């Protein structure tokens, strides 16, 4: 059985930065707080918790110093922290911060902003908090329903979740260009790491008989990889731990592909690869 591992699998730069920052902070103090899960991977998060990281769900629970998760937070968190002299150690991915700045800048220019992404995702909620006027659009179907109202706006601007499905965004972009009659600005904020993983997943999944996607159950970018894998490979599975493969049947599988989300540590990937080699 040939095993094809995606070259882009594993931690992206933003996650690496967040995890390393947390580790350094924990070296200097017995415990530190983080507002929300630092990243969407239980294995990494549990190790950080074991070393003293404490997860809080509200900035009002904070004491003096607080880590900001890689997905970012709402604008109100920064305002509250400043007012109450709470030091924020900002681990928000720089690419997410760039979208926050863009959303605020466009809002100040009186644009009605469409945030393309998952309404309940931490990153999207953070981005939307920087918009004074706008809405979240999750998919093309929602956009079509909103078209009559959107065409009444004087100026429209579009920003995206960094981990949104690239193909779905391109379809939305094309629809907007063809159907919006008012002034329109579109900003594709899907990060390079997301784009390259999605493209590689598509390529590999078309060439294998079985596809394994590794990542946290809450991980948006991992879920997008799984969606792509399912489209192209009839045998596709999403796992968080290698043990989830123990009952899988690899009989008569000649070629298997492996890809991991941006929050998946190298050790998790290696465990899967080693297990598949043993099964081989």
Which are the catalytic amino acids? 123
Contacts (Cβ under 8 Å, ≥6 apart) of 46: none
Where would I find the H helices in 29-121?
42-50, 75-83, 94-108
CB atoms within 10 A of CB 249: 9
Task: Reduce the DSSP state of residue 254 to 3 states and report it.
Answer: coil
Contact 64, 31 (CB under 8 A): no
Instruction: Count how many residues are written for the chain.
Output: 280
CB atoms within 10 A of CB 54: 14
The CA-atom distances, in angstroms, between 209 and each of 147, 197, 212, 249, 269 are 41, 19, 10, 12, 19
Contact 263, 44 (CB under 8 A): yes
CA angle 135, 137, 143 (to 5 degrees): 110
Contact 175, 140 (CB under 8 A): yes
Question: What is the layout of strands, in order, in the sheet containing 255-260?
Answer: 2-5, 255-260, 210-214, 236-239
Task: Reduce the DSSP state of residue 3 to 3 states and report it.
Answer: strand
């Amino acid at each position: 059985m040939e095993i094809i591992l995606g070259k882009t699998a594993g931690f992206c730069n933003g996650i690496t930065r967040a995890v390393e920052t947390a580790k350094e902070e924990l070296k200097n103090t017995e415990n530190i707080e983080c507002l929300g899960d630092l990243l969407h991977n239980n294995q990494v998060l549990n190790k950080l918790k074991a070393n003293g990281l404490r997860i809080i769900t509200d900035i009002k629970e904070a004491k003096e110093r607080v880590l900001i998760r890689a997905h970012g937070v709402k604008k109100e968190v920064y305002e509250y922290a400043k007012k109450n002299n709470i030091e924020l150690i900002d681990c928000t991915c720089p690419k997410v911060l760039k979208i926050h700045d863009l959303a605020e800048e466009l809002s100040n220019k009186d644009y009605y902003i469409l945030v393309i992404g998952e309404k309940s995702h931490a990153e999207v909620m953070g981005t939307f908090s920087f918009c004074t006027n706008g809405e979240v659009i999750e998919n093309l179907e929602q956009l079509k329903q909103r078209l009559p109202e959107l065409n009444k706006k004087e100026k429209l601007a579009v920003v995206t979740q960094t981990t949104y499905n690239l193909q779905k965004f391109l379809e939305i972009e094309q629809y907007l260009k063809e159907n919006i009659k008012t002034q329109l600005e579109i900003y594709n904020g899907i990060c390079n790491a997301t784009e390259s993983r999605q493209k590689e997943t598509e390529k590999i999944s078309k060439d294998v008989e079985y596809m394994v996607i590794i990542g946290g159950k809450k991980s948006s970018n991992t879920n997008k990889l799984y969606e792509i894998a399912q489209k192209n490979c009839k045998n596709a599975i999403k796992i968080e731990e290698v043990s989830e493969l123990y009952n899988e049947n690899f009989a008569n599988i000649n070629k298997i592909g492996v890809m991991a989300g941006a929050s998946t540590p190298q050790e998790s990937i290696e465990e899967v690869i080693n297990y598949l080699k043993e099964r081989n």
